[in-house]
Amino acid sequence: MRSFVLVAALATALPAAALAQAVQLDPALADYKQVSGVSGSLKSIGSDSLNNLMTLWAEGFRASYPNVQIEIEGKGSTTAPPALVAGTAQFGPMSRPMKGAEIDSFEKKFGYKPTAIRTAVDALAVYVHKDNPIKCLSLQQVDAMFSKTRRGGEKADIATWGQLGLTGDWAARSISLYGRNSASGTYGYFKEVGLFNGDYKDSVKEQPGSSTVVQGVASDIAGVGYSGIGYKTADVKSVPISAKTGETCYDATAENAYAGDFPIARFLYVYVNRNPAQRLDPVRAEFIRYMLSKQGQQATLKDGYFPVAGMTAKADLKAAGLEK
Amino acid sequence: MDARTDPEHREPSARPSRRSHQTRWSVKAMDKAADWIIKIGGIFVILAVFGIMAFLVRVVVPLFTGGHLEARTQHNYANVGETVLAETDEYHTVLALVQRDGTVRISHLLTGQPLKPTAFDFEGRKATAFARTLTTGDFAFGFEDGSVAFGKLTLAATILTAADLPKDATTLGERDWTDGSAVFSRIPGNQIRRVEASIELQPPQKISDRPIVSIDYHIAGTTERPTRTFVTIDAARSVRLSRAESRINTMTGAVRTNLATTDLPDLPADIELKSAFTVDAGDQVYLPDVSGTIWRYDTRDFKAPRLAEKVKLLPDGIQLTAISFLIGEQSLVVGGSDGRVYVYFRLLRADAQSTDGFTLVRAHSLETQPAAVIGIAPSPRSKMFATADISGAVWLRHSTCRQTLLILPGASPAEQTSTLLMGPREDSIIAVSPSGRTTTWQVNVPHPETTWSTIFGRVWYEGYDAPGLTWQSSSGTDQFEPKFSLVPLIFGTLKATFYALLFAVPISLAAAIYTSEFVPPSVRQTVKPAMEMMASLPSVVLGFVAALILAPLVETWIAAVLMLFVAIPLSLLVAGYLWQFIPGHLARRWQGLMRFVVIIAVVCTGGWLAFQLSVPLESLLFSGNLKAWANRDIGSGIPFTALVLTPVTALGLAVILRGSVGDAVAQRMRGVSPRMAAAIDLGHWVVHLMVAALLALIVAWTLAALGFDPRGGVVATYVQRNTLIVGFAMGFAVIPIIYTISEDALNAVPEHLRAAALACGATPWQTATRVILPTALSGVFAAVMIGMGRAVGETMIVVMAAGNTPILEWNVFNGLRALSANIAVELPEAVKDGSLYRMLFLAALTLFVMTFIVNTIAEVIRQRFRKRAVSL
């Protein structure tokens, strides 16, 4: 179903398809080699943006190790730190880095800090209805649409599509905002970068998951919402974004996300409780190796996100004590 | 909550046996046992309820207890030069003091034991200006020769096993050891944490020919797109702002850096600048002078920086003695020479005298300290900050809730503070005096942001135009300030309850009256259990049906749905009048099942008509587009006001004209054929309704002329997940409860009252409304209250269907966030014993109290009703 939707998305948006094909795995990524003696169970609690991807990884991993049981729960990145602290999960996927207070509560219990593994690159896209003619938005305009504090510096609130230069029927349509609930890392990251750490308007409709945001925008002609690029469907389009009003707008493509030109690109993390003085147990170690391998990153690509570079994977394997 | 036990349906008490008047011992024993079990069980239930209450209170109390000082330590360092910057780590182990000459004095924080010092190598330059970033431990130095250099002091922690502790380490206090340079601490899990200071300094860059007198340095942005901003003032008072924006290519590792520099326009010659500040974004520069005036420059465009405004921060005659931003650079804290502390926000104001539309607004005046405030240490985590006065006392304050959390006893003998620092976890405050004396206060302020007034009152959060009531609990960064106002949530609960009852009460009461008074008992016996079956639908099912099926349907057919509320009652009334045309013998024969079928058919016809007529009626009432109309984009409010007022004017007319016109009509109906009488009655009703509508239209015109518009209040901008949907779905949950309890109450009215009323010639309708309903009123009221209790506590329907927007509007077309839904949504993200966690418990406690009050009132009224029913 998911891949069907993706195929449909690629078929309708030709330029995007051309770019999407251009995304290739970094040849420096290691090939995953199966080892023996891996069994046990894993539980992952955290990000909804990474939910599908975790499922894909779990499937791929279980193909090699049928004895491993994997459970995945994705209610939002903010649920990951409490779960890691309480020990109810071995992996905490998060779509934003942990904040100080969360690291503190972890450290209070274990004495060391959690280890972050960068598993995918995401262009956090701003979606509008597929019929919406909008061509480009600056971060300041995004801020004025979503935020009541407008720290980006835009003077006036933007409440209708007409204020963004759309004409005809669109001019009078009032913008209908879709967002995530506050447990979401996407909510936090969008607030940090898209809203310049300002506050959301109270009228942003909080949706429990990334796909519901996209569904909401797809069914609402005046809608606009944000979600990971992996959730894009044929019924919505992602708007090119510029970092400042008047600058070039960049599409949410892999190339722009890697280069940092797309201003709300980010890493998607998986946090793990690793005692730096000890070796990771084989199940978790192999799962991390799998995520950062060619096979694992192929899954990332399949889910619509962009794979990490070989050097990133290498650095994080080193941080997890899995490579010298 | 399950209060559908019927007192009226108790088993009749066992009749005494005729053969034996002696109760058997086993019966007595069973009776005794049951008595005790019930008593003990009851006591346990009460204890459990109180236990839950006590638990909630226990979790909530720390929100309001403020903070306390855990320890104060003081150390003197000999031969210490002037300390210009200080840094400490998260674990209270190492303190690093940077001296003017670049030497870094390192010591063990809690014992004062000196460790191996290190030094920034200034290559013989004399440093004249110093800056420190708030959260990253980065430093900037300005030199006499006009160059600047950036450095970093890292207090790195590594985790080792207990075996890795060096053999020759000497002990430091109870927890720590040192090998001379690093500190080792025992931590849980038989591990050792090693903390060691390391420094790095980048080569200096020349930016001016004159000495640098002030510098401010910021590092911001995300890991992949960092930005560095610094502003300097040189001896000739020229101000220069520089900004480096980097983009790191995550695929290749290549870094592209975009450098920009701008010189601010010249300042007036006669001012004595205190320092220069910029912000993370580099779009503002603040230049305060000692008299308390601040020059704010708008540097959004580096090509053309300009003076935005000049503001007097302090009253005349008071010198500016300390100034600092809080984390996030939205709140500017200023301290005066008389000890006053103000917090300013930069806000957009229509009447701003500045060139960029923003102006500095004094948002908070905090408690005045007894002596001049000379140091401000902002917290790297929250809006907490410490202020040191000239007498050596340090106050710990919170900007948003304006409270003084702790007054920390100064050192004795009193000595001035030259450097004030708050620890990275805001659990320690360190003051360094010019003579090298260091005082460390270890504090514990777990919930500085919550007070009764921030939870239930209006709070002026930074960046907000005015004080307000906001719920926005968490986010992904430390800069974010949680906003905990329970008012929008309590409001949301009340709003959902109100609209749900508005929908449910008329339907369920009408249904109860109908089944208890108008249908044969056989029909009642099937209808009542069927209605009670409705209550067995899980609310989560109701919720998602409402959110995923009902909400889009209603959105598409909104005009038709609103028309239903008009069309169905109207068609029932028309059908009622038409029914009178049926000859009496037929009407009596058909009053059972046949009439029921007719009613159903009429309701269906009403619905069908509403959908058929929705388009013309939408153009008549809402100018053709309800959503645009509700948004005030098109049309006027007059037709809608008239429609809403019509029932009111109709009732008013009926009351006023009952004596004159009513009697005249009744007179005309006397003595004519039944068919003629029915025709007169129908004609009278139609004319009455038309007059009422006309009257309503006139009233609506007048109101509109007086400036009244129904839009903006109860009807305003339409969103898909709205209170109307919640009302429908919640109505489904509440209707069976209200129906079944009030039906029981009506049915319990003794039969002799009913018989007497009918025998006196009252119609069944008159009997029901004037005899039965008033008698059973307290029972009916109790039913409504129990329904209300259910609606207040209802969670899943609201979570799924309400959009969860914490807004304070009665608008039926937008969403709400109820207390119960908020608890369900946010509990998984709440860290145990954190502020949000305790706030959610407070929300639970509030909900508990609300349902407790509602149910108690219901129960008290029910008791009264029982007594009254018994007395009849």
Shortest Cα distance, chain B CAs vs residue A142, angstroms: 17
Q: What is the pLDDT of residue B166?
A: 85
Write out pLDDT tens, residues B555-594.
888 888 888 988 999 999 999 999 888 888 888 888 777 8
**Contact check, Cβ <8 Å, B474/A183:** yes
* Contacting residues of A for B164, CB less than 8 Å apart: 277
Lowest mean pLDDT among A102-116, A217-231, B11-25, B304-318: B11-25
In this complex, is the C-beta atom of B815 within 8 Å of any C-beta atom belonging to chain A?
yes
Q: Of all residues in chain B, what percent carry a pLDDT higher than 70? A: 96
In angstroms, the separation between the Cα of residue B187 and the nearest Cα of chain A is 6
In B572-591, the residues whose Cβ lies within 8 Å of chain A are: none
Contacts of A121 in chain B (CB under 8 A): 250
Q: What pLDDT is attached to residue A283?
A: 93
Measure the CA–CA gap between B93 and B265, rounded to whole angstroms: 46
Residue of A nearest to B719 (CA): A176
Pseudo-torsion of CA A46, A47, A52, A57, nearest 10°? Answer: -60
Does residue B202 contact residue A288 with C-beta atoms inside 8 Å? no
**pLDDT over 80 (residue B268):** no
The Cα–Cα gap between A45 and B272 comes to 57
Higher model confidence: residue A60 or residue B536?
A: A60
Q: Which residue of A has its CA nearest to B462?
A: A149
Residue in chain B lying closest to A118 (CA): B250
* Residue environment code for A1-25, b if the CB has 16+ CB neighbours within 10 A, otherwise e: ebeebbeebbeebeebeebbeebeb
* Whole-number pLDDT of residue B820: 92
CB contact under 8 A, B474 and A176: no
Amino acid letter for position B383: K
Which chain A residues have a beta carbon less than 8 Å from that of B832?
82, 85-86
Report CA-CA distances (Å) from B33 to B16, B28, B38, B106, B482: 21, 9, 9, 76, 55
Q: What kind and span of H or E run contains B393?
A: none
Contact B771, B33 (CB under 8 A): no
Rounded to whole angstroms, the Cα distance separating B72 from A185 reads 39
Closest CA to B265 of B293, B243, B287: B287
Average pLDDT over residues B624-644: 83
Q: Is B480 helix (H, G, I), strand (E, B) or coil?
A: coil
Of the candidates B437, B451, B440, the one whose C-alpha atom is nearest the C-alpha of residue B398 is: B451
- The per-residue pLDDT for B715 is 83
**Local confidence band at A286 (pLDDT 50, 70, 90 cut-offs):** very high
Q: Tell whether B302 lies on the interface with A, counting CB pairs under 8 A.
A: no
ipTM value > 0.85: no
Q: Which residues of A touch B461 (CB under 8 A)?
A: 199
Residue B14: per-residue pLDDT: 54
Residue B31 tokens read as: 């009776």
Q: What does B73-136 look like in DSSP terms, one character per residue?
A: EEEE-TT---EEEEEE-TTS-EEEEEETTSEEEEEETTT--B---EE---TTPPEEEEEE-TTT
Lowest mean pLDDT among A15-29, B649-663, B677-691: A15-29
> For residues A84 and A275, what is the distance between their CA atoms, to the nearest angstrom?
13
How much is the average pLDDT of B628-649? Answer: 85
pLDDT for A12 beyond 50: no
The answer to whether the CB of B368 falls within 8 A of the CB of B338 is yes
Q: How confident is the model at residue B807 (pLDDT cuts 50, 70, 90)?
A: confident
Contact B474 A77 (CB under 8 A): no
End-to-end CA distance of chain B: 29
- Cα(B362)–Cα(B394) distance, integer angstroms: 23
Which residues in chain A touch residue B719, judged by CB atoms under 8 angstroms apart? 176, 203, 205
Can you give the pLDDT at residue A15?
40
- Summarised one tens digit per residue, pLDDT across range A265-275 is 999 999 999 98
Comparing B715-724, B790-799, B823-832, B858-867, the range with the smallest average pLDDT is: B858-867
pLDDT band at A156 (very low <50, low <70, confident <90, very high): confident
| Cβ atoms A305, A296 nearer than 8 A | no
pLDDT-based confidence at A318, cuts 50/70/90? very high
Out of A75, A204, A265, name the one closest to residue B828 (CB): A75
pLDDT at B693 over 70: yes
Handedness of CA A120, A43, A91, A180 (dihedral sign): positive
pLDDT (average), residues B22-29: 89
Confidence (pLDDT) at A1: 38
Q: Please name the residues between 495 and 534 in chain B that touch chain A, using a CB distance below 8 Å.
A: none
CB contact under 8 A, B187 and A196: no
Is residue B524 within 8 Å of residue B515, measured between CB atoms? yes
pTM of the full structure = 0.86
Beta-carbon separation of B474 and A202 below 8 A: no
Is residue B834 classed as helix, strand or coil in its secondary structure? coil
The least confident of B372-376, B458-462, B476-480 is B476-480
State residue B667's pLDDT score. 84
Given a contact cutoff of 8 angstroms between Cβ atoms, the answer to whether B669 and B680 are in contact is: yes
Nearest CA in chain B to A219: B552
- More confident site: B627 or B326: B326
What is the residue type of B534?
Answer: M
Q: How many CB pairs under 8 A join A and B?
A: 182
CA dist B153 and B106 (Å) reads: 11
Maximal CA-CA distance, chain A: 66
Closest to A144 in 3D by CA, of A134, A159, A131: A159
- Is the pLDDT reported for residue B3 higher than 60? no
Distance between CA atoms of residues B550 and B553, nearest Å: 5
In the predicted model, what is the mean pLDDT of residues A98-117?
A: 89
A-contacting residues in B 704-763 (Cβ below 8 Å): 717, 719-721
Q: Does B282 touch chain A (CB under 8 A)?
A: no
Give the pLDDT score at B582: 87
In degrees and rounded to multiples of 5, residue B67 shows phi and psi of: -130, 175
DSSP helix/strand/coil, A147: strand
Per-residue confidence (pLDDT) for residue A26, from 0 to 100: 87
pLDDT of residue A169: 86
From A65's Cα to the closest Cα of chain B, the distance in A is 30
Where does the pLDDT of residue B41 fall: very low under 50, low under 70, confident under 90, or very high at 90 and above? very high
Reading phi first (left if > 0) and then psi (alpha if -120 to 50, else beta), residue B443 is in beta
Residue to test with chain B: of A206, A244, A300, most B Cβ within 10 A: A206
Residue A99 has pLDDT above 60, yes or no: yes
Closest CA to B812 of B496, B504, B555, B508: B496
Spatial distance between the Cα atoms of B225 and B473, rounded to a whole number of angstroms: 27
Looking at every residue in chain B, the average pLDDT score rounds to 87
The one-letter amino acid code at B742 reads S
Dist. CA B235–CA B567, nearest whole Å: 82
Residue B15: pLDDT band by 50, 70, 90 thresholds? low
Residue A11's pLDDT band (cuts 50, 70, 90): very low
